[in-house]
């Protein structure tokens, strides 16, 4: 039988659960968050459509694989961060290994700060160059979900550099995606380096393909 102390404990736990659920409902009803979630779902539907029908899609270039809708975590605003880009004093060119064993050069440009649960994590931004010499910027990472719920090589985030040094970027892991090599072995992709590991469970964005 429950004594008075246990009854009080159960009562406190029930109140806590009710409070948490109430907070969730408030956030879901927030017009800004609701609009964001609707926009994110629309983006995911458009990506599925493009992967299925675009001639440059891996599912159309590799006839051995069959398209099926991508898997995602539920939209989660807790995995949206704000940060300036902190450029390294020395921007080293590093060799990044590809999934087919090749290496490619990339400049370690700087890092962004992700503040969560009283801990500050860093994520690198890399600069590469196209065949025509145009620079482009990449973020790739692994985390505690890698090789479990998410692709074993790692996931990517798009990044567009802003020239203003004080510009504050939005880092939205709900938009983290798998590279094409997650769907087809015809493709090769950069493997996140050891320092690109983020020591938390990023339960947002794309999950393992079927």
Same domain, yes or no: 104 and 205: yes
Ranges of H-type helices in the chain: 4-29, 31-53, 58-61
Query: In terms of residues, how long is the chain?
Result: 210
Q: What is the pLDDT of residues 179-207, one digit of tens each?
A: 999 999 999 999 999 999 999 999 999 99
* Per-residue tokens: 195: 């320092």
Does any domain span residue 139? yes
Same domain, yes or no: 42 and 129: no
Does any domain span residue 61? no
Q: What is the DSSP string of 11-58?
A: HHHHHHHHHHHHHHHHHHH-HHHHHHHHHHHHHHHHHHHHHHH-TTSH
* Per-residue tokens: 15: 């109140």
pLDDT band at 28; cut points 50, 70, 90: low
The residue range of the domain holding 17 is 1-53
CA neighbor of 46 nearest in space, from 175, 146, 187, 180 = 175
Same domain, yes or no: 111 and 24: no
Beta bridge partners of 177: 156
Same domain, yes or no: 137 and 189: yes
Same domain, yes or no: 118 and 192: yes
pLDDT at position 121: 98
Same domain, yes or no: 95 and 23: no
Q: What global pTM score does this model have? A: 0.84
Overall number of domains in the chain: 2
Please tell me whether residue 60 adopts helix, strand or coil conformation.
helix
């Amino acid at each position: 039988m429950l004594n008075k102390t246990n009854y009080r404990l159960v009562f406190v736990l029930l109140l806590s659960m009710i409070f948490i659920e109430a907070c969730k409902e408030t956030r879901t009803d927030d017009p800004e968050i609701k609009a964001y979630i609707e926009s994110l779902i629309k983006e995911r539907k458009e990506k599925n459509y493009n992967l299925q029908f675009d001639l440059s899609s891996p599912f159309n270039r590799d006839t051995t694989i069959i398209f099926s809708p991508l898997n995602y975590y539920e939209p989660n605003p807790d995995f949206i961060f704000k940060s300036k880009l902190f450029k390294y004093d020395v921007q080293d060119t590093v060799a990044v290994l590809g999934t087919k064993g090749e290496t490619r050069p990339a400049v370690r440009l700087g890092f962004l700060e992700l503040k969560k649960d009283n801990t500050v994590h860093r994520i690198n931004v890399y600069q590469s160059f196209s065949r025509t010499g145009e620079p482009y910027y990449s973020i790739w990472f692994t985390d505690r979900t890698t090789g479990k719920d998410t692709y074993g090589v790692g996931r990517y985030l798009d990044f567009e550099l802003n020239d203003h040094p004080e510009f504050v970027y939005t880092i939205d892991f709900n938009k983290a995606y798998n590279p094409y090599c997650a769907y087809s072995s015809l493709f090769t992709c950069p493997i996140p380096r050891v320092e690109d590991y983020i020591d938390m469970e990023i339960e947002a964005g794309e999950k393992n393909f079927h």
